[in-house]
């Protein structure tokens, strides 16, 4: 979501005649788009901002803006501590960069802060200019904010209440993107499954998928992220029935322990979660499932942790994102008893990651010899002789090919499984 916001920031800057500088020293404007989901991201931001002090000393005309979730939460504190920051704007106010860049940038009195959470944020009421990378895959926001208030999470405080974007705006954006040649759309939101709840029209996420599915030229649809509680039978059937739907779901479980899930305020038990996975696998047998895990949430005993390990072994995810629990301002988890020692959090994290490495590699090995449909995205970042693309199940596949294939769907026979990708060879047909 932050990367998508950065695309909007770059789009606004490009429209106001700001190109990309070759180095920080040559920049006229620096925008730091921040993430506050975990403490580590916040620390990185503060050390980067500290580094800019000297750059600004050597170039007093430089303007520094801070965007994103840290800007939203720490606005005043940033201004006080870093007198050389000129502009602060939160995720709901990305459009305010347009006005600041065009008027205030010329002025010496340009310290401004735009962090009010808005019922109709600028990006919801108008389509902001956007600089998208590549011409194959694009993200499209469908829902902003979150109402779930998981006990560990800052998102409801930094991105505000859940607001669905009108379906006509989403439809028009996807039509425009396919007109520009984009082939795959990822619908974005903190909880896409609850799409439509606050809209005047009667529409839910499945209806939205069906609407978008009709758009000519669009070949693939993905979405992220889903909340396990809101996965409905209707959605599963829609995913099964629409041929353009990719066969992958990212369904964050967070923990395998019911006690921890309740204290996280997740709204489901492990059994509920597993039932949803079983329903998905019954409807779409080759679906890939990925997840998020938090280790060392307050009160997590060895037994609770073992239940998470058991969940990983039982479900056999295609991939996971795992994190140590990180204390975040304003969140309910701060007040919970029995916070876990950092060393134990780290040990549990590395245990989980090691276990998953084996499962992921095993799953990749099972794909050797299979012929798969790949949407070619571009040249491989690690080998400029290879092309890269993704399967319907979101696995990365590299292969020798012709750059003319970029944007096309090709059939690839998997020759070799690697830890994080597959290597294959182009074939003419499924045979």
Q: Which one of ligand SAM, ligand SF4, none is in contact with 156 (Cβ closer than 5 to 8 A by kind)?
A: ligand SF4
By beta-carbon proximity to ligand SAM, the closer residue of 2 and 386 is 2
Cβ-contact 376, 401 below 8 angstroms:
yes
Q: Cα dihedral sign for 18, 95, 197, 150?
A: positive
Q: Is residue 194 involved in binding ligand SF4 (CB under 6 A)?
A: no
Pick between residue 99 and residue 198 the one whose CB is nearest to ligand SAM. 198
Can residue 160 be called a binding residue for ligand SF4 (CB under 6 A)?
no
- Taking the complex as a whole, how short is the minimal distance between the CB of residue 223 and ligand SF4, in angstroms? 14
Q: Which is nearer to ligand SF4, 87 or 195 (CB)?
A: 195
Which of 186, 219, 225, 232 touches ligand SAM (CB under 6 A)?
225
CB 121, CB 92: distance < 8 Å: yes
Q: Which is nearer to ligand SF4, 229 or 363 (CB)?
A: 229
Cβ proximity to ligand SAM: between 140 and 294 the closer is: 294
Q: Which window, 150-158, 214-222, 267-275, 283-291, contacts ligand SF4 (CB under 6 A)?
A: 150-158
Q: Confirm or reject binding of residue 192 to ligand SF4 (CB under 6 A).
A: no
Q: Which is nearer to ligand SAM, 317 or 323 (CB)?
A: 323
Distances (CA, A) of 276 to 236, 315, 356: 9, 11, 21
Among 66, 69, 71, 146, binds ligand SF4 (CB under 6 A): 146
Check residue 4 for interaction with ligand SAM (CB under 6 A): no
Residues in contact with ligand SF4, counted by CB under 6 A, come to a total of: 10
Q: Counting contacts by CB under 6 A, is residue 320 touching ligand SAM?
A: no
Please select the residue that binds ligand SF4; options are 158, 178, 190, 226, rule is CB under 6 A. 190
Residues 142-161, mask of contacts with ligand SAM (x by CB under 6 A): ----------xx-x------
Q: Which of these segments, 79-87, 143-151, 242-250, 422-430, binds ligand SF4 (CB under 6 A)?
A: 143-151
Task: Give which of ligand SF4, ligand SAM, none residue 88 binds (C-beta under 5 to 8 Å, depending on kind).
Answer: none
Among 56, 183, 276, 328, binds ligand SAM (CB under 6 A): 328
Q: Tell me whether residue 110 or residue 265 sits nearer to ligand SF4 (CB atom).
A: 265
Choose the stretch contacting ligand SF4; rule: CB under 6 A; options: 24-32, 142-150, 236-244, 380-388: 142-150
- What CA–CA distance (Å, rounded) separates 203 from 195? 8
Cβ atoms < 10 Å from Cβ of 243 = 8
Rule CB under 6 A: say whether 139 interacts with ligand SAM: no
**Closest CB 254 distance from ligand SF4, rounded Å:** 8
**With respect to ligand SF4, which residue has the nearer C-beta, 153 or 372?**
153
**Contacting ligand SF4 (CB under 6 A), which of 8, 163, 183, 227?**
227
Per CB under 6 A, 222 contacts ligand SAM: no
Cα(298)–Cα(257) distance, integer angstroms = 12
For ligand SAM, the binding residue among 188, 294, 375, 376 (CB under 6 A) is 294
Three-state SS string over the chain comes to CHHHHHHHHHHHHHHCCCCCCCCHHHCCEEEEEECCCCHHHHHHHHHHHHHHHHHHHHCCCCEEEEEHHHHHHHHHHHHHHCCCCCEEECHHHCCHHHHHHHCHHHCCCCCEEECCCCCCCHHHHCCCCCCCCCCCEEEEECEECCCCCCCCCCHHHHCCCCEECCHHHHHHHHHHHHHCCCCEEEEECCCHHHCCCCCCCCCCHHHHHHHHHCCCCCCEEEEECCCHHHCCHHHHHHHHHCCCECCEEECCCECCCHHHHHHHCCCCCHHHHHHHHHHHHHHCCCCEEEEEEEECCCCCCHHHHHHHHHHHHHHCCCEEEEEECCCCCCCHHHHCCCCCCHHHHHHHHHHHHHHHHHHHHHHHHCCCCCEEEEEEEEECCCCCCEEEEECCCCCEEEEECCHHHCCCEEEEEEEEECCCCEEEEEECCCC
Query: Where on the chain is the footprint of ligand SAM (CB under 6 A)?
Result: 37-38, 152-153, 155, 190-191, 225, 227, 252, 254, 292, 294, 323, 325-326, 328
Query: Where on the chain is the footprint of ligand SF4 (CB under 6 A)?
Result: 146, 148-150, 153, 155-156, 190-191, 227
């Amino acid at each position: 979501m932050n990367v998508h916001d950065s695309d909007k920031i770059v789009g606004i800057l490009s429209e106001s005649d700001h190109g990309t500088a070759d180095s920080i020293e040559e920049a006229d404007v620096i925008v730091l788009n921040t993430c506050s989901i975990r403490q580590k991201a916040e620390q990185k931001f503060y050390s980067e901002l500290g580094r800019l002090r000297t750059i600004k000393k050597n170039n007093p005309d430089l303007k520094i803006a801070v965007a994103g979730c840290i800007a939203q939460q720490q606005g005043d504190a940033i201004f006080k501590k870093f007198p050389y920051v000129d502009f602060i704007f939160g995720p709901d106010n990305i459009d305010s960069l347009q006005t600041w860049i065009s008027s205030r940038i010329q002025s010496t009195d340009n310290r401004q802060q735009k962090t009010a959470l808005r019922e109709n944020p600028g990006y919801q009421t108008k389509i902001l200019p956007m600089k998208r990378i590549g011409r194959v895959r694009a993200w499209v926001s469908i829902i902003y904010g979150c109402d779930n208030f998981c006990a560990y999470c800052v998102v409801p405080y930094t991105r505000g209440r859940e607001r669905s974007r009108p379906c006509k705006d989403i439809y028009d954006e996807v039509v425009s993107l396919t007109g520009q040649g984009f082939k795959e759309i990822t619908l974005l939101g903190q909880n896409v499954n609850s799409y439509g709840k606050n809209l005047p029209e009667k529409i839910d996420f499945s209806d939205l998928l069906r609407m978008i599915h009709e758009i000519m030229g669009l070949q693939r649809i993905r979405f992220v992220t889903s909340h396990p509680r809101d996965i409905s039978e209707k959605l599963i059937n829609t995913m099964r029935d629409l041929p353009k739907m990719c066969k992958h779901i990212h369904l964050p479980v967070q923990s395998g322990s019911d006690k921890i899930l309740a204290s996280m305020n997740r709204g489901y038990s492990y059994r509920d979660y597993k039932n949803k996975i079983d329903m998905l696998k019954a409807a779409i047998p080759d679906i890939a499932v990925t997840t998020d895990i938090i280790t060392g949430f307050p009160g997590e005993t060895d037994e609770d942790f073992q239940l998470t390990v058991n969940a990983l072994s039982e479900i056999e995810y295609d991939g996971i994102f795992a994190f140590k629990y990180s204390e975040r301002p304003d969140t309910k988890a701060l007040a919970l008893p029995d916070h876990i020692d950092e060393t134990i959090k780290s040990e549990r994290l590395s245990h989980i990651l090691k276990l998953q490495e084996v499962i992921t590699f095993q799953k990749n090995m099972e794909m050797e010899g299979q012929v798969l449909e790949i949407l070619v995205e571009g040249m491989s970042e690690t080998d400029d002789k290879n092309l890269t693309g993704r399967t319907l199940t979101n696995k990365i596949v590299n292969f020798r090919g012709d750059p003319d294939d970029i944007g096309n769907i090709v059939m690839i026979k998997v020759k070799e499984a690697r830890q994080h990708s597959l290597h294959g060879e182009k074939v003419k047909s499924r045979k």
